[in-house]
Amino acid sequence: MSTHQDHVAHALDIDAVRSRFTSLRKGEFTFFDAPAGSQVPDEVGDAMATLMREASGNTGGYDPTAQTLTDLVSKARERAAEFFGGDADNIAFGGSMTALNFILSRAATRDFESGDEMIVTRLDHDGNVAPWRELAIDRDFVLRTCNLTEDLRIDVDHLRSLVTDRTKVIAFPWAANTVGSIADIAEICEIAHSVGAIAWVDAVHYAAHQKMDVRAVGADVVLASPYKLCGPHMGMAHLEPRVADQWRAYKVQAREEHPLGGRFENGTRPFELLAGLCASLDYIDSIGGFGAIEPYETSLAKHFLNTLSSDFTVYGPPLDQRVPTFLLTTPGLDAETISRKLAEEKISVWKHNFTYEVGLPEVLPFEGDAVRVGIAHYNTVKEIDHLNAVLGDIANHR
């Protein structure tokens, strides 16, 4: 008879995966804080260090270093495009998802008029709210907020009721980094396009767990951050030319107009980060891609939910409508206490205080903070069992 451990082991060679991470080989801590930033395999740091040692310079010259960097930029666009399910010319890189979002949102709205409307949701990270909120203040735009269903997914019916002929942007998360809810992305994109609005997608959290195909779902702007998927801290986006080619970029005069994504990249590109990005995407492919990652993470998530103490409440939709990220509370214990006690047992979770999800607490059935458990593909059944055993002890000794 096969055990649960046997079942999940067939999906991914977890021992081989973990051997590539110094932070995991050390065994000092168990990491369930991936939504705040994943662990990074050694080869990513090695690629960044090698690039800085051997080819630190700039593009545009005629020496081997300049050619190496030119080739690197092209490779990074191609690898990112494969990851998004789009085209290399349409990839833009930035300092972070939020920084890139501010740049792109300002270019997109140059021709908007006073009274034009944008819609965000209560599930959004502030990185996909603040750009629109500040524009609304500066330019007299109207910012509307879409509500959630009882199981904390985007309420598509409410979204439809908010849309008017003045709606210019619908901004939303492909998956929430709080409760893991996955959006009905194709339907939301269709709603946006029905009034000529831009479907503006924060895929930072989704991109770490499931394969993207931005063209298939009809998304116009899709943003992600490699640091959530075993890569460096930076931002990247895929832009739909039908929409973005009309924007006049905020850029220095010398910046080229082609490829499309490149016109939105101000300053010298972060070449060492691009090297790390390529290495992280190569790493994901080498372990089987999301064809291996998704079923393995799902199996871990099922095990987590099946063995979690009944003293804890988990918020959000069923597992088939979410990525493996869970918000937890238990009566009589605050998130600070739980997180510190877990840390004493060398388990890292996140004390989630909703600093960057300002619209969500208003609809949650509790006040205050919560514990966020974020499962990643490098976690194990043994780690899940340890986490749930300690959570059970904490609840029993409150």
SS3 at position 181 = strand
pLDDT at 174 over 80: yes
Residue type, 36: A
The pLDDT value given to residue 247: 95
Secondary structure element (H or E) that encloses residue 198, with its range: strand 198-202
- Output the average pLDDT for the chain: 94
- Going by C-alpha positions, the residue among 233, 238, 269, 239 that lies closest to residue 251 is 269
pLDDT at 257 over 50: yes
Beta-carbon contacts of 182 under 8 Å, excluding residues fewer than 6 positions away, are 153, 174, 175, 206, 210, 317, 321, 322, 323
The pLDDT value given to residue 266: 86
The CB-side HSE value for 133 (13 A sphere, CA atoms) comes to: 12
The pLDDT value given to residue 267: 85
The pLDDT value given to residue 167: 98
Kindly report, residue by residue over 35-51, the tens digit of the pLDDT.
Answer: 999 999 999 999 999 99
Mean pLDDT of 325-341: 96
The pLDDT value given to residue 145: 97
Q: Give the angle 344-355-213 at the CA atoms, nearest 5°.
A: 95
Kindly report, residue by residue over 3-62, the tens digit of the pLDDT.
Answer: 444 444 446 899 999 999 999 998 889 999 999 999 999 999 999 999 999 998 898 889
Mean pLDDT of 82-89: 98
The pLDDT value given to residue 335: 95
Kindly report, residue by residue over 299-322, the tens digit of the pLDDT.
Answer: 999 999 999 999 999 999 999 999
pLDDT at 341 over 70: yes
pLDDT at 254 over 90: no
pLDDT at 203 over 60: yes
The pLDDT value given to residue 10: 44
Kindly report, residue by residue over 134-165, the tens digit of the pLDDT.
Answer: 999 999 999 999 999 999 999 999 999 999 99
Mean pLDDT of 179-197: 98
| % residues pLDDT > 90 (the chain) | 88
Mean pLDDT of 64-86: 96
Beta-carbon contacts of 287 under 8 Å, excluding residues fewer than 6 positions away, are 12, 13, 16, 17, 293, 377
The pLDDT value given to residue 252: 74
Kindly report, residue by residue over 97-131, the tens digit of the pLDDT.
Answer: 999 999 999 999 999 999 999 999 999 999 999 99
Beta-carbon contacts of 142 under 8 Å, excluding residues fewer than 6 positions away, are 115, 116, 117, 118, 136, 166
CA distance 380 to 44: 22
The sheet that has 235-239: what strands, in order across it?
Answer: 91-94, 235-239, 221-224, 198-202, 167-173, 117-121, 142-146
Ranking 49-53, 176-180, 257-261 by mean pLDDT, the lowest is 257-261
The pLDDT value given to residue 11: 66
The pLDDT value given to residue 342: 97
Residue type, 1: M
